[in-house]
Structure 1
Amino acid sequence: MDIGLIGSGAIGQYLLKKINEDSHPELHIGHILVRNTAKYRHLEGDYGVVLHTDVEAFLASDIDMVVEAANVATVQALLPHVIRKKDTMLISVGALADEQLLVETARLAEAHATRLHLPSGAVGGLDLIQNAKTFGNLERVELTTRKPASSLTGESITEEKTVFHGKAFEAIEKFPKNMNVSIILSLAGLGINETDVRLIADPAIEKNIHEIRLAGDFGEAVLTIKNNPLPENPKTSALAALSILGTLERVPGNIRYGN
């Protein structure tokens, strides 16, 4: 499968190393959409890619799927246009907290027979959540995220501090770089207005820790994920990067697990 990449930050370069440099047997990144070709010119020699600044030329290339590895603003600007022409995978799912964008994207994907793929990112259990909500059996979804205090507050604190408690739509508004996980859980489950979120700054930890609690007619479940950082960028979880690569590997497969 030929992949077109939007963005070339930590996750983008992780994908280039794992797919192109390591010669993945089924995947190849051939084209990258960037804002500044001079800044990223080295990627052409390092990974054998073609750089684009024009989205039309990028989409007209021989790519099968677009993978966004940029930011929420980029998704908001480009997603409606991209989904018209190519299957698309989003990393910055926080953009879909905008209900209008979500509805428009779904409409365009149906009209143009394309698909939007949303990897689970830094969490897991999305199949359980989706199964539990079948026929209205999911009643409650709660997310508690703990992060190293230095990543959330400039204060010098010695005890954990709750910096946010509310619904998912508020969490992504106040912490757009920290709460993508709340949106993917909301989309899989009860929605951004019904998903409870707590964000805690904890001076005693070095990893991001996500605890998901759900309950309904099916029973109850608790999932805890402790994320190691991505070596290329300590602010990004390794699991978030792995979820993208794993999803890409499963797309062409004939056997699906948990879907």
Structure 2
Amino acid sequence: MSADLKVGIAGLGAIGLPVARWLDAGVPGLRLAVVSSSSIDKARSLTESFTNPPEVVALEELPRHADVVIEALPPDRFRSLAVPAIEAGSTLVVVSLTQLLANMDLVDRARQTGGRIIAATGAIAGLDAVRAAAKSNLIRAVMRTRKPPASLAGAAFVREANIDLSELTEPLCLYSGTVTEAAQKFPANVNVAVALSLAGWGPERTDYEVWADPGIDRNTHGILIETDAIKLEISVANVPSSENPATGRITPLSVMAALERLVSPLTVGS
């Protein structure tokens, strides 16, 4: 029997910490080996009560201690982890897909080093069907995201445009255009749209809208795909994380599912 895969988690916030606790509880074939956070002291404090506390290291050192690296970082820290992970030939599970889109040179480098990049599904569903549909001829691919104003109030685009969402009484469209531009304007808020575009026809051929909606209490995503082979409509309503309302509670669960897929003798979906 092969040894367990050593997992390293970079970022212990609304995504990384639930995954770390899940691994510490015991998952066949996987072992939480190492973590990193904004500070070594913080990471130790968050994991010292674990049954098997992981090693705590600086961000850039983490890939040297893990077979599988989980990226759950602020956007500006992405490359500090991703580059050494790919250079080490690790499997990198990415949550910050807007940053992956801005650093696609890492995909080419992974071909050379033997590394692997897995884009976590995150807060949407149906990407297996989208991947299949992408083998047919596209008519249109549209995604609309609606979030409670509090989930978008901290977005860089909202702050820089001086948009006050606190007194919003009706839905407000903050953005309509391609996924490429949306990823630049909302680097921490539109990972779901990037996931859809990478699974399908690319960010330039995927239309996207972002709405602040005071009438909802969940982050919702509606997807419409039409090709010459299928019409696909997907609707998702996520419960926001209590730690970070911009993150759905399903997001860390999608990382857990991706990890299980690495070691399971049976996987379902293409």
Instruction: Report the TM-score, using the length of structure 1 for normalisation.
Output: 0.91
RMSD of aligned residue pairs (Cα, Å): 1.7
Give the SS at the match of 1:249: helix
Aligned match of 1:126 = 127
Partners of 2:152 and 2:246 within 8 A in 1? no
In structure 2, distance between residues paired with 1:172 and 1:142: 15
Once the two structures are aligned, what percentage of the paired residues are identical? 30
Q: 1:190 aligns with which of 194, 197, 201?
A: 201
In structure 1, distance between residues paired with 2:212 and 2:19: 30
Q: 1:17 aligns with which of 1, 21, 27?
A: 21
Aligned match of 1:237 = 248
* Structure 1 stretches of at least 4 aligned residues deviating more than 4 Å after TM superposition: none
Partners of 1:129 and 1:138 within 8 A in 2? no
Partners of 2:6 and 2:68 within 8 A in 1? yes
In structure 1, distance between residues paired with 2:230 and 2:113: 39
Counterparts of residues 72-151 of structure 1 (less than 5 Å): 72-85=75-88, 86-98=90-102, 101-102=103-104, 104-134=105-135, 136-151=136-151
Partners of 1:8 and 1:69 within 8 A in 2? yes
In structure 2, distance between residues paired with 1:38 and 1:175: 30
In structure 2, distance between residues paired with 1:212 and 1:191: 15
Counterparts of residues 158-237 of structure 1 (less than 5 Å): 158-237=169-248
Letter in 1 for 2:239: N
What is the CA deviation profile of residues 111-155 of structure 1, one whole-angstrom value per residue up to 9, with x for unaligned ones? 122211111100011111111111x42332100011112333523
In structure 1, distance between residues paired with 2:228 and 2:263: 34
In structure 2, distance between residues paired with 1:34 and 1:151: 23
Letter in 2 for 1:194: R
Letter in 2 for 1:147: K
Give the SS at the match of 1:39: helix
In structure 1, distance between residues paired with 2:242 and 2:125: 21
Letter in 2 for 1:90: V
Provide the aligned length of Structure 1 versus Structure 2.
Answer: 252
Q: 2:56 aligns with which of 46, 51, 54?
A: 51
Q: 1:250 aligns with which of 250, 261, 267?
A: 261
Give the SS at the match of 1:46: coil
Instruction: Report the TM-score, using the length of structure 2 for normalisation.
Output: 0.87
The offset of 1:242, in angstroms, is 0.7
In structure 2, distance between residues paired with 1:121 and 1:44: 24
The offset of 1:108, in angstroms, is 1.7
